A and B are shown apart, each in its own frame.
Chain A
Amino acid sequence: GENVEQHPSTLSVQEGDSAVIKCTYSDSASNYFPWYKQELGKRPQLIIDIRSNVGEKKDQRIAVTLNKTAKHFSLHITETQPEDSAVYFCAASFPRQLTFGSGTQLTVLP
């Protein structure tokens, strides 16, 4: 089955700085890579996703990059704000299911 590794497990940044979270996956057939944000006590919500025919996707302050050769994808958050503090999960597709990474606790310090 698919294996997804996510790093770092915790990340603290100063407000206004950038944050980068990285994931690697094992199954070269995976073709869909979403990122979910889970605020404390709330449900995970999709914030951005990318498909294997695209190398980069942006949505305002967040972007995702994909390197299919290296089986690696990353989430980039620029100009971080306190409301960006949450746990972020990457995932990779596998037939009929997503395999999730273990999560990154992002803390944005004021």
Chain B
Amino acid sequence: ETGVTQSPTHLIKTRGQQVTLRCSSQSGHNTVSWYQQALGQGPQFIFQYYREEENGRGNFPPRFSGLQFPNYSSELNVNALELDDSALYLCASRGSGPGTDTQYFGPGTRLTVL
């Protein structure tokens, strides 16, 4: 186990709805990244948060947004869901400073959009 937890495990939504996914980072990790993994593909970077600020974003539209809280837990929000948003959403946490390059992934949330 990596110490990174995500909720919920599975989620089914319909087109146009909004969804919030949650991630609890490993203790002491102040950086969290979110990835989208479509079926049969590798994960694609959505964005990263460091100390509650977004400090990097991938090629995803603004309806993908996030938050990081003082305890370093994080949320991924997706508005106006589309069918192509169906995927496994992964969060990964890491620390900062020497020897903290490793990202630890959670088990993911499987989102199905109907």
A and B: real partners?
Answer: no
A interface list, Cβ under 8 A from B: none
B interface list, Cβ under 8 A from A: none
